[in-house]
Structure 1
């Protein structure tokens, strides 16, 4: 079977359009239509609904899509490995980084990596840890930073850093007089939180469930400067990593009682080929972590 139609099928599934799929793949739209029609004839199955303007996969098409994504991923990895055997000096790293780390921990690492490996292209995707893990599992990312709570069997991880989640309040908040803050006291306050799907929010939601409390979320935002500003002005309390707090932030942080520590790691798919570029990035990040 020619695998090109499988690429077309994946693009159609993502764009829900023959025209947009053709643009994404940089091919003529009739070529996409003809290839899909031939694939359907070869299989004796209808793969795509064409009854109305909304293009979508049939049940048979959805089942083939699962296999198509695996086949294309394996083929791309095979071609990459063969290219590297020829000693190519170029490469690409697609890495997912949660927002908090992307803003405060990784910028100097990424700049230093580019300085050491100027021919390697870095593609950095910021997002929630859950979203990034799914992108990693589907092959959209090569590496991703995750919170090493529950790691699926399909992923392998390397320890990165250990950070404490700290209760964060304005300098005149009553919590500033305490050495530690109990979860029960924390959940009596109006909270400034990241949106669902981010590790910051998931940790707080798990803690609330354990305490049988309902969080009073007054503000939801993924913008760390906004979280700081709202907290500084006394409109709520939050919880942030130590690395996020600067000396001039006019914020006070306190440990939870008991403290909450996060083990952050960088993960990749166990069954995938890890390119030389990605291996170099892993080694560089590990080296940087030891020297911090």
Structure 2
């Protein structure tokens, strides 16, 4: 059976859909706009379907185009995995790992792992993306990342996971705050304070939201910021308190105090269930699991 498209046409189609226009896609692909337009026209002719609505200044996918986009992304990812697997059989690929890491882990936990892995495998290229855990999960599902660090909860059930670290979430306050002298702080006392929190989609924020729901309290959010240095500065100046993984509270002016009861998060490396892990990706997973006790 002859297919009505090839991988090159699918790649052009996806680029047009993601860039939102033929000119932008042409720039992204480093080809002439006429070549992009012709490829899409030929694809629509062979499929006997209209894939894009042409507006005066923009384009949008038709329902048929949206269906093709879902299948095209999967086909291209599978083709990439097959190509990589074949090249590896010949020893021609040094390897690449695209990994997504939440900001707290990327700044305070993963640098030794990344440097240690690079020292052991200098030929493997590492691409690290920082984002919230929910966005990382979407990027894994859509093939934009090979691996990501996620929290072990119900939203990550569609992923293959390997647990590598359990870490305590603590209350972070200035050293002159009354909580700094406590052995532990209850959720009730925590939620009486103005809070400095990450935005939605980060495990830091989801932890606080889940704690509020579980204990029947409402968070008094004074500031929202995904920037750890800014959050620490706000806490130091006494404009609010926050919660971090214990290792993140590493300044003399700040104190880390356990929740009562203590709160722990289970962190896992994850990838799309059923996807192919290249030798480079598998080597990274193995390295993290072997060295997680040193974190």
What does residue 41 of structure 2 align with? 37
The within-5 A match list for 1:248-267 is 248-267=251-270
What does residue 275 of structure 1 align with? 278
Distance 1:8 1:181 in 2: 55
Distance 1:5 1:139 in 2: 18
Judge which range, 192-201 or 148-157, deviates more: 148-157
What does residue 63 of structure 1 align with? 67
Distance 2:31 2:274 in 1: 31
Distance 2:85 2:226 in 1: 38
Structure 1 position 210, deviation (Å): 1.7
What does residue 78 of structure 1 align with? 82
What does residue 159 of structure 2 align with? 155
Distance 1:110 1:291 in 2: 13
Distance 2:222 2:149 in 1: 28
What SS class does the counterpart of residue 218 from structure 1 fall into? Answer: strand
TM-score between the two structures when normalised by the length of structure 1? 0.96
Q: Is the Cα contact below 8 Å between 1:194 and 1:201 reproduced in 2? A: yes
Q: 1:104 to 1:152 in 2, by over 3 A?
A: closer
The within-5 A match list for 1:167-206 is 167-206=171-210
Judge which range, 151-160 or 1-10, deviates more: 151-160
- RMSD of aligned Cα (Å): 1.3
Q: Is the Cα contact below 8 Å between 1:5 and 1:32 reproduced in 2? A: no
Structure 1 position 170, deviation (Å): 0.9
Distance 1:264 1:287 in 2: 15
Cα distance per residue 1:87-117 (max 9 Å; x no partner): 1251100000000000011112111211211
What does residue 48 of structure 1 align with? 52
Structure 1 position 232, deviation (Å): 1.5
What does residue 119 of structure 2 align with? 115
What does residue 207 of structure 1 align with? 211
The within-5 A match list for 1:89-168 is 89-168=93-172
- Stretches of structure 1 lacking an aligned partner (at least 5 in a row): none
- Stretches of structure 2 lacking an aligned partner (at least 5 in a row): none
Distance 2:157 2:182 in 1: 41
Among 281, 285, 292, the alignment partner of 1:289 is 292
Cα distance per residue 1:189-238 (max 9 Å; x no partner): 00011111110001101111222222111111111111111111211111
Distance 1:249 1:162 in 2: 24
Instruction: Kindly tell me the number of residue pairs found equivalent between the two proteins.
Output: 291
What does residue 18 of structure 1 align with? 22
Q: 1:144 to 1:236 in 2, by over 3 A?
A: same
Among 207, 219, 223, the alignment partner of 2:223 is 219
Structure 1 residue runs of 4 or more that deviate by more than 6 Å after TM superposition: none
1:239 aligns with 2:243: yes
Distance 1:249 1:77 in 2: 48
